[in-house]
């Protein structure tokens, strides 16, 4: 089991709250659609192809399930889409749902750091979310 680091969780939560401004206060914001993943997906596919992206998402979901067991009810389809969250949103408290999504995204970012390194991961995030300062998306690069 690889637990997510506080730094990865902080970055993940920042991205989620930026994309879902009302997620912390609205149960309806805990929908199955994941705007962070939707914005990442095209760049991930360009970087590692369709199958690689699907495998990366599936691995991140499995790893996140060890910290948030309810995530094991979600899955990645053959097309690389995340499924199962729509049903879960009515069964899980919004704060628990948010924490699970943070863990999932943090695991995904951690896998990216492992596979492509902290500098490229930071660049990828900066390309999608340029408003996030470089110092706020430090994935372990030089201080």
DSSP codes, 71-82:
GGG-EE-TTS-E
- Residue-wise pLDDT tens digits, 110-134: 999 999 999 999 999 999 999 988 8
For the chain, the domain total comes to 1
Question: Residue 27: pLDDT above 50?
Answer: no
| 98 token code pair | 């948010």
Q: What is the pLDDT of residue 8?
A: 93
Query: Does pTM surpass 0.85?
Result: yes
Mean pLDDT on 2-16: 89
In a domain, 115, yes or no: yes
Per-residue DSSP letter, 68: S
In a domain, 140, yes or no: no
In a domain, 143, yes or no: no
pLDDT band at 33 (very low <50, low <70, confident <90, very high): low
Q: What is the pLDDT of residue 31?
A: 43
Show contacts of 77-82: CB within 8 Å, 24+ apart: 78/54, 79/54, 80/41, 80/45, 80/50, 80/53, 80/54, 82/32, 82/34, 82/37, 82/57
* DSSP string for 93-132: -HHHHHHHHHHHHHHHHHHHHHHH-HHHHHHHHHHH-TTS
Distance of CA 44 to the CA centre of its chain: 12
In a domain, 38, yes or no: yes
**Domain range enclosing 50:** 6-128
Question: Residue 22: pLDDT above 80?
Answer: no
In a domain, 142, yes or no: no
In a domain, 133, yes or no: no
In a domain, 79, yes or no: yes
In a domain, 100, yes or no: yes
Q: List, in order, residues 6 or more apart from 24 with CB less than 8 Å away.
A: 17, 94, 95, 98
- Residue-wise pLDDT tens digits, 50-104: 999 999 999 999 999 999 999 999 999 998 888 988 788 889 998 999 999 999 9
């Amino acid at each position: 089991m690889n637990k997510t680091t506080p730094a990865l969780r902080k970055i993940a939560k920042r991205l989620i709250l930026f994309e879902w401004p009302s997620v912390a206060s609205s149960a309806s914001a805990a929908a199955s659609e994941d705007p962070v993943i939707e914005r990442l997906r095209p760049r991930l596919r360009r970087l590692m192809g369709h199958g690689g992206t699907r495998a990366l998402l599936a691995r991140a979901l499995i790893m996140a399930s060890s910290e948030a067991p309810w995530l094991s009810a979600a899955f990645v389809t053959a097309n690389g889409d995340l499924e199962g969250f729509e049903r879960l949103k009515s069964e899980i408290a919004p704060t628990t749902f948010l924490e699970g999504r943070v863990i999932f995204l943090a695991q995904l970012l951690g896998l990216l750091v492992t596979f492509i390194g902290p500098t490229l991961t930071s660049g990828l995030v900066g390309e999608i979310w340029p408003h996030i300062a470089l110092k706020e998306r430090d994935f372990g690069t030089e201080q």
